[in-house]
Structure 1
Amino acid sequence: MEFLIILGGIAILAATWGILIERQLFSVKRASLKILPAGSPTLTVLHISDLHLAPWQKRKIKFIKSLAELNPDLVVNTGDNLGHEKSVGTAITALGPLLMKPGVFVNGSNDYFAPVLRNPLGYLAKPSERSNGKALDTARLLAAFRQAGWLNLNNREGKLQLNGIKVGFLGVDDAHDDRDDLTSVAGQANNLTDCSIIFGVTHAPYLRILESFTENSAKLIFAGHTHGGQVCLPIFGALTTNCDLPKKNARGLSAWKFNGRSSVLNVCAGLGHSIFAPVRFFCRPEVRLLSLEAVN
Structure 2
Amino acid sequence: MGIERYLFTVRYHALRVLPRDADALRILHISDAHMAPWQHHKQEWIAGLARLEPDLIVNTGDNIGHRDGLSGLRDAFEPFTGVPGLFVHGSNDFQGPSFRNPLRYFTGPSQRNPEIEEMDVDALDGYLTDDLGWTLIDNAATSLEVRGVRINAFGVNDAHRDWDDLEVLPEAIGELGEADLTLGVTHAPYRRVLDEYVDLGADVIFAGHTHGGQVRIPGSRDALVANCDIPLDQARGLSEWTHDGRTAPLNVSAGLGHSIYAPVRFACRPEVTLLTLLPR
Contact 2:38 2:72 in 1 (8 A): no
Q: 2:72 aligns with which of 90, 95, 105?
A: 90
Q: 2:128 aligns with which of 145, 148, 165?
A: 145
Match of 1:256 in 2: 241
- The Cα offsets for residues 243-280 of structure 1, whole Å up to 9 and x where unpaired, read as 00011001111112212222111111111000000000
Distance 1:130 1:39 in 2: 48
**% identity of equivalent residues:** 47
Distance 1:63 1:225 in 2: 20
Instruction: Flag the structure with larger Rg.
Output: 1
Is it true that 1:26 corresponds to 2:8 in the alignment? yes
Contact 2:39 2:72 in 1 (8 A): no
Q: Which amino acid aligns with 1:157?
A: A
SS of alignment partner, residue 38 of structure 2: coil
Match of 2:18 in 1: 36
Unpaired segments of 5 or more residues in structure 1?
Answer: 1-17
Following superposition of structure 1 onto structure 2, how do residues 198-209 of structure 1 map, counting pairs within 5 Å?
198-209=182-193
Match of 1:78 in 2: 60
What is the TM-score with the length of structure 2 in the denominator?
A: 0.96
Distance 2:179 2:22 in 1: 13
Distance 2:212 2:218 in 1: 13
Q: Which amino acid aligns with 2:123?
A: R
Q: Which amino acid aligns with 1:35?
A: V
SS of alignment partner, residue 210 of structure 1: helix
Displacement after TM superposition at 1:287 (Å): 0.3
SS of alignment partner, residue 228 of structure 1: helix
Distance 1:34 1:222 in 2: 16
Match of 1:269 in 2: 254
Displacement after TM superposition at 1:93 (Å): 2.6
Is it true that 1:164 corresponds to 2:148 in the alignment? yes
Q: Which amino acid aligns with 2:279?
A: A
SS of alignment partner, residue 232 of structure 1: coil
Is it true that 1:181 corresponds to 2:165 in the alignment? yes
Following superposition of structure 1 onto structure 2, how do residues 51-66 of structure 1 map, counting pairs within 5 Å?
51-66=33-48
- The Cα offsets for residues 9-43 of structure 1, whole Å up to 9 and x where unpaired, read as xxxxxxxxx11x10100011111111112221100
| Mean CA deviation greater in 44-53 or 188-197 | 188-197
Distance 2:46 2:241 in 1: 30
Unpaired segments of 5 or more residues in structure 2?
Answer: none
In structure 2, the CA distance between the partners of 1:140 and 1:188, relative to structure 1 (3 Å rule), is: same
What is the TM-score with the length of structure 1 in the denominator?
A: 0.91
Displacement after TM superposition at 1:131 (Å): 4.8
Match of 1:238 in 2: 223
Is it true that 1:118 corresponds to 2:100 in the alignment? yes
Distance 1:91 1:176 in 2: 23
Contact 2:44 2:75 in 1 (8 A): no
Distance 2:26 2:190 in 1: 26
- The Cα offsets for residues 61-94 of structure 1, whole Å up to 9 and x where unpaired, read as 1001111111100000000001111112221232
Contact 1:131 1:177 in 2 (8 A): no
SS of alignment partner, residue 97 of structure 1: helix
Q: Which amino acid aligns with 1:252?
A: G
Is it true that 1:214 corresponds to 2:194 in the alignment? no
Distance 2:269 2:12 in 1: 14
Q: Which amino acid aligns with 2:234?
A: N
- The Cα offsets for residues 40-59 of structure 1, whole Å up to 9 and x where unpaired, read as 11000000000011111110
Distance 2:88 2:185 in 1: 7
* Count of equivalent residues: 277
